[in-house]
Amino acid sequence: MLGADAMVKCLEEEGVKYVFGYPGVAICPFYNSILDSDIHTILIRTEQNAAHAASGLARVTGQVGVCAVTSGPGATNVITGIATAFADSIPLVCITGQVNSELLGSDVFQEADITGAVESFVKYSYLVRNADEIPRIFKEAFYIANSGRKGPVLIDVPIDIQNAVINRFKYPEEVTMRTYKPTVKGHAVQIKKVVKELSKAKRPIICAGGGVLLSDAEQELRAFAQKHRVPVVSTMMGIGVMPTRHPMYYGMVGNNGNPYANRAMNESDLLIMVGARVADRAVSQPDLITENKVLVHIDVDPAEIGKNVGPTIPLVGDAKHIIADFMEEEFVCEHEEWIQTLNGYRETMGRIRKPNPDFVDPAEFIRMLSEAMAENAVYVADVGQNQIWSCNYHIVKDGRFLTTGGMGTMGYSIPAAMGAKLADKNRQVVAVCGDGSFQMSMMELATMRQFDIPVKIIVLKNNYLGMVREYQHYTYKDNYSVVDLSGSPDLEKLSSAYDMKFMRLCTMERAQETIDEFLMGNESVLLECLIDPMDLVK
């Protein structure tokens, strides 16, 4: 057995079904061995998207996403995808081929010090020096990626190690790492303290972040909020923890969030942040959430607690376990007046938009689209104005909302949607992007076609990098610099080049029929919506 065979065997042991990647000489032994396996390989069109596609798959399955690329440029291209997964805490194992061990450090063709380069974007990285270490390293890598605060792990495997003969393959049953033991269970004393605060609170609120989804604790959190009638708001990464129309849900907080969600959070007397980093986009003024209130911060990563804001009650552990512990506590939590107040805010503090009737109104369009989407559909938002409109107007029913809230990497939606679609080809998956972000990933239309991955794509087209244009509108008084997207391709011709169905919506007049036709059947469609170039998210 060769090192490369062992690598594939490890992936089989981990139950991996898809590997996204791009070959090159340095990873060829691995791609040769994988031919003998049932694992599907997806040839992505640029390496960055391999990591995004693996991220989409990981987020809907809860399993580790895997990508495999070659040394040098293959490895450096995947860095943005790895950094995106790191910022969003998505479990990935990224395998990179490397030049011959004996040539390491001599700047030979396609050599890059990838473990050094990704150091600040990975949970851990390995440079395999001995083929016999492959089973242990892979076992550890999958464990590290998908436990504690999840994130990407990189394994760099020199070509001679992939070609080395291994005498005996034994995949470890358990991981023995003395230095890595994430705290899962919450401290009992701290849990009691939180319960005591809950029973005293007049205006309690929970702010749910992406960590709740990562620990698969949505059902627990919904049940808890329902049982004790505790209102919930979410961060961008926490969208989908609560169905949008859940009576206890009050929307997304932050500088792009709902005014009433922010008001609710600021006016609360007990704020329970769970699986949220208290990062600048969600909480631009950390002192506002500590003033006049008790702040409880629940996170599996102890370093997140106290990083941006000092909580009254820190509580380290996994959201699923901790909420289950809360559920076992008997206490009374009475604050009906608070709920009435929040419901009043919700009714009176909605956004008012004045859409231009000559174009598609992205807000109303997204609302109608999500109404028509399947109950369990996956909606993947890209980055830009489209992301903010998606966050604000998409209605999550029983599906998922995916976006990169941490890194904000343009071009994320199409590859991530492909990963999500592969997890379950019968599930409806819609990617929504702008004409800027679409062009960062449009090469993947070929991948969708080649591997029959019928993602539905919406391009909100305004011929601008809209989010930056909006920023320049406010900050530089309409002095637009490098935001004009003239020269973009005719998407109808482009769709036809990829043998893909194309639709166009110019105003809201035919919105309903267009949406119905767009969503019909399980085939790829590209729907172009012409939106007002001067439209603003704020």
Partner 1 sequence: MQKGCHMQKKVLQLLVDNTSGVLSRIAGLFSRRGYNIDSITAGVTADPRFTRITIVTSGDDEILDQIEKQVAKLIDVRDLKELRPGESVYRELAMIKVRVSMAQRQDVIAVANLFRANVIDVTPESLMIELTGDQDKIEAFIRMLDGYEILELARTGIAGLGRGIENVTYLE
Cβ closer to partner 1: 158 or 240?
158
Cα-based angle 129, 135, 141 (whole degrees, multiple of 5): 85
Distance of CA 371 to the CA centre of its chain: 22
Cα-based angle 43, 46, 49 (whole degrees, multiple of 5): 85
Q: How far is the CB of 119 from partner 1 (least distance, A)?
A: 5
Q: How far is the CB of 180 from partner 1 (least distance, A)?
A: 5
Q: What is the amino acid identity at position 133?
A: E
Q: How far is the CB of 447 from partner 1 (least distance, A)?
A: 33
Q: Which residue has the tokens 């506590």?
A: 329
Q: How far is the CB of 209 from partner 1 (least distance, A)?
A: 18
Q: How far is the CB of 171 from partner 1 (least distance, A)?
A: 20
Cβ closer to partner 1: 316 or 442?
316
Task: Specify the DSSP element, H or E, that contains 387.
Answer: helix 385-393
Cβ closer to partner 1: 179 or 481?
179
Cβ closer to partner 1: 43 or 175?
175
Distance of CA 170 to the CA centre of its chain: 34
Q: How far is the CB of 182 from partner 1 (least distance, A)?
A: 10
Sign (positive or negative) of CA dihedral 312, 314, 320, 322: negative
What angle in degrees, to the nearest 10, is found between the helix axes of 134-145 and 3-13? 40
Sign (positive or negative) of CA dihedral 371, 374, 375, 380: negative
Q: How far is the CB of 125 from partner 1 (least distance, A)?
A: 8
Q: Give, in order, the Cα–Cα distances in Å from 493 to each of 89, 280, 499.
A: 38, 41, 10
Burial of 477 (0-12, 13-18, 19+ CB in 10 A): exposed
Task: List residues near partner 1 by CB under 8 A.
Answer: 115-116, 119-120, 123-124, 127, 129, 144, 177-180, 286, 301-303, 306-307, 310
Cβ closer to partner 1: 50 or 131?
131
- Residue 160 near residue 102, CB atoms below 8 Å: yes
Cβ closer to partner 1: 178 or 477?
178
Cβ closer to partner 1: 145 or 402?
145
